Amino acid sequence: MGIFKQAFTISKEEMLPYFYYLGATGLVGAVTYERIQTVFDSPKAFYTADAGKLEKTGLFTAEQITHFTEKKKEFNLFSEYERALKLGIKTLSVEDPEYPEKLKTIKDYAPVLYMKGSFPKEGVPYVSVIGARECSGYGSAVAARLGELLAAAGVAVISGMARGIDSISQIAALEAGGYSLAFLGGGVDVVYPRESRRLYEILSQRGGIISEFAPGVMPMKTFFARRNRLISGISDALCVVEAKEKSGTMITVDCALEQGRDVYAVPGRISDITSFGTNSLIRQGAGVVADLNAFVEEMLRTYGGPAFMTLTKGSKKKEPEEKYLENEIAVIRLLDENSFTADALSSTLKMQSYEILGLCMGLCDKGILKSMGAGRFVSTEEGILTRNKIVSAENEDEDLP
């Protein structure tokens, strides 16, 4: 990475619109950027150069030159830049001190980034939590818990705002009052997928949204693969929750390995296709996330500054031990990460359907279950913990002579 010769002869504010243009052309990657620097003194000089001058440099193909001049014609430099500023979108050039250090060092860095929101405070570890769009109940439970724990420990949770694992972990992180950062595959003003609108709003207030694509650019398949290198690039470590064998997540993992980032994976059942990717990562030597608390502590120890040496105990409120009725215990023993309908319990419980519904609603009040409507329920994190407690207590009883 070099810098323009004149970088500091004009003020930063004056130069930013030209950087904005540079990114908006969509043609300037790390290589082209450095080529431009060899010829032009500043992005402004590049902008003002006409077709003849560009051709003389011998750096660009005829097609590229037409594209640059076309773009210039349809592009009103200052009004576009002003509009972006009004939307709260900052332009970050790679020469900007605010530009994340870790992203400067990757091979194909993005010369210009557009950003909404803000970066976390200095010294915070960055851990990305990524995974499949179509995740299982297990995957979404783990992602939510992981996002929450990382956020509570003060770690920045990085992801791509995609459906499934990405957005679940980010929502959990923000709800726990933590910080999260999303990299998009389109302009930062384009909410994609649409159902992530709420997450998007919160991110632009309490987190950050970054893209190398200019505002207004619609997301495209190839863009997602490109932005994945930024997710891994900014992260200290990458945690894969669920992934199919060939997926965008695995592209991110490849980027991470190339960039020398640590990769962790959450083991899954060998029969689920969303486990094939993660389990094969483990076989290849990725870190195993067997205990979420331990994982978070490891993250703090390894990447956190002295301020993060110990796990900042979250505001886990200790409630008095709940007492459960016999029937309730029977239900709790049957819980797993998958949702279930009340009818599924009827053969075990030998109760009337409405009694089972009542029982389940009672457990909802106690925080064990969550009602999903249409007679379907899903266990909460606490439900699983309670089940583990009950089952292990019973095993101890059996061990007694």
Partner 1 sequence: MVYKVYSGRVGGVFGDLITVEVDVSAGLPGTEIIGLAGSDVKEAKDRVRVALRNSGVNLPAMRIVINLSPADEHKEGAGFDLAIAAALLGVMGKNEFFAPEEALVVGALSLDGKILPVSGVLPIVRFAKERGFKRVIVPKVNAKEASLIRDIDIIPMDTLSDFITYLSLPFGEKKAAFPPFKSDGGDPFENTEGEALDFSDVSGQDTVKRAAAIAAAGMHHLLMIGPPGTGKSLIAKRIPGILPPLTYEECLEVTSVYSVSGKLNGKTPFMTRRPFFGPHHTASPQAIVGGGGDARPGLVSLSHRGILFLDEMTEFKKETLDMLRQPLEDGEITVSRAKKTYTYPAKFMLVAAMNPCPCGYYPDRNRCMCTDGQVSKYLSKISGPIADRIDICVEVSRMDLKEIAGGKKGLSSAEIAANVARAVKIQGNRFAKETFKYNSLIPSSKMEKYVPLSDGERDYAYSVYESLKMSTRAFYKMLRVARTIADFDGDAKVTKKHIAEASCYRFPEYMGG
Instruction: Output 12 or 246, the one with its CB closest to partner 1.
Output: 246
Among 372, 385, 388, 389, binds partner 1 (CB under 8 A): 372
Minimum CB separation of residue 255 from partner 1 in Å reads 24
Site string for partner 1, 300-339 (x = CB under 8 A): --------------------------------------xx
Strand order in the sheet with 156-159: 90-93, 112-117, 208-211, 180-183, 156-159, 126-130, 237-240, 262-265, 287-288
Cβ atoms of residues 147 and 170 within 8 Å: yes
Taking CB under 8 A as the criterion, which residues in 92-151 touch partner 1? 133-140
Sign of CA dihedral 234, 238, 241, 243: positive
Instruction: Output 374 or 393, the one with its CB closest to partner 1.
Output: 374
Site string for partner 1, 159-188 (x = CB under 8 A): ----xx------------------------
Instruction: Output 67 or 376, the one with its CB closest to partner 1.
Output: 376
Instruction: Output 100 or 164, the one with its CB closest to partner 1.
Output: 164
Taking CB under 8 A as the criterion, which residues in 332-371 touch partner 1? 338-339, 341-344, 346-347, 352-354, 356-358, 360-362, 364, 371
Give dist(CA 33, CA 336) in Å, integer. Answer: 52
Give dist(CA 287, CA 302) in Å, integer. Answer: 13
Minimum CB separation of residue 163 from partner 1 in Å reads 5
**Tokens 């207590």 belong to residue:** 393
Give dist(CA 245, CA 54) in Å, integer. Answer: 44
- Report strand pairing: 340-341 vs 376-379: antiparallel
Give dist(CA 48, CA 66) in Å, integer. Answer: 14
How far from 145 is each of 5, 127, 152, CA to CA, in Å? 49, 14, 10
User: Residue 400 interacts with partner 1 (CB under 8 A)?
Assistant: no
Enumerate binding residues for partner 1 (CB under 8 A). Answer: 133-140, 163-164, 272-274, 338-339, 341-344, 346-347, 352-354, 356-358, 360-362, 364, 371-376
